[in-house]
Amino acid sequence: MKKNSYSYIVLITLVATLGGLLFGYDTAVISGAEGALQAYFTDNLELSSLVHGITVSSALIGCIIGGFVSGYLASNVGRKYSLVIAAMLFLVSALGSGYPEFLFFTKGEPTMALLITFNIYRIIGGIGVGIASAVAPMYIGEMAPPKIRGTLVSLNQFAIIFGMLVVYFINWGIAKGQPVEWVNDIGWRYMFFSEAVPALLFLVLLFTVPETPRYLISKHKDDKAMSVLNRVYEKTMAKATMFEIKSSFDTAQTKAKLFAFGKAIIVIGVLLSVFQQFVGINVALYYAPRIFESMGAGRDASMFQTIIMGLVNVIFTLIAILTVDKFGRKPLLIIGSIGMTIGMFGVAGMAFSNAIGIGTLVFIIIYTASFMMSWGPVVWVLIAEIFPNKIRGQAVAIAVAAQWAANYFISSTYPAMMEFSGGLTYSFYGLMSLLSAIFIWKFVPETKGKSLEELETILVKSQQNTTTQKSKAS
């Protein structure tokens, strides 16, 4: 790297990570508003807890859609302009979710049609989240030099958690000291409106960053790609990187079939995504105030305890950022899985014994801290790294869509599962945490310190060796 290029890359990364911040902001804003939404919609309309769970999780439907279309957008519109689209969707969702009555309904008169409209606006925001969650780490991974790629991609997860922490503070500030009736009628609207500020900032700043060299080369815009590489590397290294990237693309075909490099790498990417959600992290994030209220905390106290959890999340995400390029991806993931297992089985034990109290808070913090130092940031790093250039857009889209589908399943079923048995619900998440450790140990390759093209070469050789062994066996 050039001496002065480090700050350039960091600045570009910070702009891209605003997509991560909005990802966290959009998904966590619901934690402060979900009680008010239950009062405003579910209770007034006499709907079931399942409908409330679907409303709280409706943005995840959009996330699944956004995850699926992110591959098409990233490959055809580009990484940069895919993020521009996401920013516009965030802005529309923030304004529409805060005032779903706009044009068609009367304020203060909840109806089923209004509830559906609110969910549509949340789904629009979810599409933005789905796109940003796939493209932001892809953008950073393609821009970053190998030695600091893990750290820079991990900054996206830090931005996600920081976005959650910011909105926890904002939700708490809006609701603090206000009558419940005001929060249930007006306060929740301000919570959603607040997202418009970072969404607009993200949209404006995106026009100041370049497209990635790998996308430009895939579209045969070599001069523009070389210009970007020259900003990052010394002249000789820039040329070598240019050659390496061009060599990874077939001159006759810049795209390959999804399974051209074998099915195993796709399955690993999908399972990384599914395990990241089946361990139950978003239950802790979406329903945090309600969990703390069940421990005996009042409304304001429960939101403040959520802020404490958010601070812990930020601290342990920083630990991951500082260690992911030193210790590697696998050790962090395995250590995190063990910590999550201890935390979730601890919460389950407290639930079974009806001893909900400060011990539950301790176990939840152990659980969330373990996730934030491992599965939170490192899975995004791996998803940005493990797929070859020619299938990255398609493969990342599938992995991210699977992640959001798993997220939706876990989040929307939580209220009904808790009505059946809190102990069994948390035990399920504990079991998934244990299985995630075994999965990483047995199947996931280490990617630390290798360029994206080096990883592709290793993958091709591995696939060829597997094919040769199968042929000999037959």
- What pLDDT, on a 0 to 100 scale, did the predictor assign at position 213? 87
The CATH number of residue 19's host domain is 1.20.1250.20
d(CA 426, CA 211): 43
Find out whether 171 and 33 touch, Cβ atoms under 8 Å: yes
More confident residue, 254 or 182: 182
Find out whether 36 and 188 touch, Cβ atoms under 8 Å: yes
What is the crossing angle of helices 5-37 and 112-143, to 10°? 160
**Has residue 48 got a pLDDT over 80?**
no
pLDDT digits (tens, 9 = 90+) for 80-114: 999 999 999 999 999 999 999 888 887 878 888 99
Q: Which of 150, 146, 143 is nearest to 80 (CA)?
A: 143
Find out whether 435 and 279 touch, Cβ atoms under 8 Å: no
d(CA 334, CA 332): 6
Total domain count for the chain?
1
Query: Does residue 151 lie within any of the structural domains?
Result: yes
Mean pLDDT of 183-199: 91
More confident residue, 306 or 392: 392
d(CA 159, CA 383): 17
Query: Does residue 234 lie within any of the structural domains?
Result: no
pLDDT digits (tens, 9 = 90+) for 333-359: 999 999 999 999 998 888 788 766 677
Query: Does residue 255 lie within any of the structural domains?
Result: no
Query: Does residue 232 lie within any of the structural domains?
Result: no
Q: How confident is the model at residue 458 (pLDDT cuts 50, 70, 90)?
A: low
pLDDT digits (tens, 9 = 90+) for 396-405: 888 888 888 8
Find out whether 28 and 255 touch, Cβ atoms under 8 Å: no
Query: Does residue 338 lie within any of the structural domains?
Result: yes
DSSP class of residue 391?
A: G
Q: Which of 198, 126, 124, 201 is nearest to 162 (CA)?
A: 198
- Coil, strand or helix: which one is 464? helix
- What pLDDT, on a 0 to 100 scale, did the predictor assign at position 251? 45
Answer positive or negative: Cα dihedral of 185, 186, 192, 193: positive
Query: Does residue 359 lie within any of the structural domains?
Result: yes
Whole-prediction pTM value?
Answer: 0.74
pLDDT digits (tens, 9 = 90+) for 110-144: 888 999 999 999 999 999 988 998 898 888 888 88
pLDDT digits (tens, 9 = 90+) for 226-278: 988 888 787 888 888 888 778 766 544 445 566 656 677 788 888 998 999 99
Query: Does residue 240 lie within any of the structural domains?
Result: no
Chain mean position to CA 204:
22
Tokens standing for residue 156: 């996206």
Q: How far is CA 321 from CA 1, 240, 317, 375, in A?
A: 20, 28, 6, 12
Q: Which of 409, 385, 372, 432 is nearest to 269 (CA)?
A: 385
Tokens standing for residue 55: 């409303």
pLDDT digits (tens, 9 = 90+) for 19-46: 889 988 887 788 778 888 888 888 888 7
d(CA 335, CA 338): 5
d(CA 332, CA 157): 15
Tokens standing for residue 104: 């068609």
How crowded is the C-beta side of 428, counted as CA atoms within 13 Å?
A: 15
What DSSP string runs through 409-425? HHHHHHHHHHHH-HHHH
Range of the domain at 113: 9-213+260-473
**Has residue 465 got a pLDDT over 80?**
no
Query: Does residue 246 lie within any of the structural domains?
Result: no
Q: What is the mean pLDDT of the chain?
A: 81
